[in-house]
Structure 1
Amino acid sequence: MEELQRNPMEFHDGTFREMQSPDSEANEMVGSTIPKRAFGRFLRGLREQAGATLLMASLQLDTSKQTVLRLEDGQPTKLSTPQLKSLLDLYNVSPSVRKEALELWQEVRRQDQAAKLQGTYKGWWQAYADQFAPHFNHYMRLEERANHLSTHQLALVHGLLQTPQYRRAIIEVTEPGVSEVDMHRRLELAARRQQRLADDDFHLDVLLSEAVLRHQIRDSRIMAGQLRHLAEVSSQNNVSLRIVPFSADMNLGVAFQSFTLLEFPHLAINLVEPPVIYVEGTEGALYLEQTNAIVRFRTAIKGIQQVALNESDSRNLVSKIAKEYEA
């Protein structure tokens, strides 16, 4: 359901750290959270290497521990260059590290300024902020910057592939009181989001349980149209659709619930952006970037791929079930 549903049906029963939603080269990365997140991790590494606590850092900046956490998580935080220099003094960094930290900070500031000038500082989706759950703002920033998404879905079609009719039906079921005006705005948001599929440099790998195809949303005609759309979109070079049939053998990957792995392009500046796992929950979302978590989910994806139908057989199955709905 993603941005359309404030109370998602699915959640991942894991034991990972939950992050509450955070609130190219310069032109390419305008409005992106990538520099802030990378810079924040850089500062966290310096603090941990120095053996400094959050309390020590907050006292040095004359702020709260929560503010330091927000800074290290890459969330919007007021920080001046003198404050940063004071923090680097506390961490007792070498001249070369100090220089690198200040250069990274200037890169973050340049991109923030460019974003403000272009009017994209908050992201185009902010115009629809009243139509999605708070945590989804952070996801949209990640999805907008990502160049490769791998998603595993157990019950519903991924938002990037949903037809307007299918999406409308979900909203009508989950939020029966939604106004027609809000409905229109949510469908408009979805359409703008799906424009990413027209970008040849963006790749989407979708692993769908057969249950997604069989789980009828309202009207059989809606499902027929949705499956026809899946078959059509899956013929694009940048979209891969594979179905995990009911007959698939059980393995680690199949046991995982729905999730999305987001991967990002290499940056020209000296910042490295690691992959992020997004898992939507009933009351928020998990954003996982720890190495062990990424490895675990990559292993899960490989396991699912081993038992999923190939792309051709998947497209045939989708078309076959679409005909069943049309009968």
Structure 2
Amino acid sequence: MSASSDNQSSESALSSTLPRRQLGRYLRDWRTQGGLTIAEAARLMEWGASTLQRLEKGQADRIRTIDIQELCRIYGIPDEIADGLKGLAQQAAVKSWWHAYGDLIPENFDVYVGLEASALRLMSYQSELVPGLLQTADYARALNRLGYPEDTDAELERRVGLRLQRQALITRRAHPAMVDVVLDESVLRRVVGSARVMAAQLRHLADLSTRDNVTLRILPFAAGVPLGLSTGPFVILEFGTDSKGQPVEPPVVYVEGFTGDLYLERKADVRRYRHAHEVLLRCALDVHASRNLLRQIAKEYAI
């Protein structure tokens, strides 16, 4: 392949949009789970292999819902996931994507979790709650019991189990993701579940902060409002670079909302959130002081 072709391929990858990349990622994972090569799956669709390859890379110019439905049938994808994939296929190709819950994509299809699982580095700020990747089972259970009061005990435990499974991203032995988190002190003081649950959660955070791939800092009340305004919670996700040092995928800013989620890919937006994270880092306690504060407040809860 020529240098010109390499550049075009790189530009195409970076110009693709998040819904299309997520659609392609899910389809690739289900194809490989089914033991099919690209050539075999393309032949079943009566496509050329390059057509399916572009779809899996999020670079397809035109995506037909009927084709996604047929691929789901071939791969044996369950209906509830297939509905989510068809919803992704219908999203506009935009750089700032507001995903309203239940709009085209079913509410039980979690777009963010699929994105998170592919990230190699996550930088976040949390002002109210411990992020899912760092939660204990009891903390997660208390939140889900409030969020889904009509769930049976079995459904509740399934939600908790799924949340704990996500944590393999940072605890796995091979190539764990790098996590750089700033927690507002209010996260430590806001009681979720009970004092006992909070004591265990804060000890868990302190223990996680000793891992080489986890950096955790506390923004104390004394730091005031470093940015002069509230950003709200956010996560910046990065997906690594290729052999030439170019991003495999563009970084994404994730902002969770009550009725939907916002995904930002525009360079100016990502740059603004990076700056915000840097300012919060500078104003937060250092790693050791943060760990000491976590253990101190955990002891207060345990009294």
Say whether residues 1:186 and 2:132 are aligned partners: no
Q: Quick check: 1:205–1:239 contact (8 Å CA) kept in 2? A: yes
Identify the match of residue 219 of structure 1 among 194, 198, 221: 194
Say whether residues 1:247 and 2:247 are aligned partners: no
Q: Quick check: 2:256–2:262 contact (8 Å CA) kept in 1? A: yes
What secondary structure does 2:141 align onto?
helix
Q: Quick check: 1:227–1:322 contact (8 Å CA) kept in 2? A: yes
CA distance in 1, matches of 2:75, 2:205: 31
Gaps of 5+ in 1: 1-35, 45-68, 78-101
Matches within 5 A, 1:1-327: 39=12, 42=15, 73-74=20-21, 76=23, 107-108=53-54, 134=107, 137-199=110-172, 200-252=175-227, 255-267=230-242, 272-327=248-303
Offset at 1:188?
Answer: 1.2
Cα distance change on mapping 1:207 and 1:271 into 2, 3 Å: closer
Cα distance change on mapping 1:311 and 1:39 into 2, 3 Å: same
What secondary structure does 1:252 align onto?
coil
Length-normalised TM-score, structure 2: 0.67
CA distance in 2, matches of 1:252, 1:37: 35
Q: Quick check: 1:149–1:262 contact (8 Å CA) kept in 2? A: yes
CA distance in 1, matches of 2:130, 2:179: 13
Offset at 1:218?
Answer: 2.6
Partner of 1:82: none
Q: Quick check: 2:120–2:178 contact (8 Å CA) kept in 1? A: yes
Offset at 1:198?
Answer: 1.9
CA distance in 2, matches of 1:111, 1:74: 6
Length-normalised TM-score, structure 1: 0.62
Q: Quick check: 2:169–2:176 contact (8 Å CA) kept in 1? A: no
Aligned length, in residue pairs = 234
- 1:59-110 deviation digits (Å, cap 9, x = unpaired): xxxxxxxxxx97xx54649xxxxxxxxxxxxxxxxxxxxxxxx997564357
Offset at 1:264?
Answer: 0.6
Percent of aligned positions with the same letter in both sequences? 36
Q: Larger RCO: Structure 1 or Structure 2 (Cα < 8 Å, ≥ 6 residues apart)? A: 1
Aligned residue type for 1:144: A
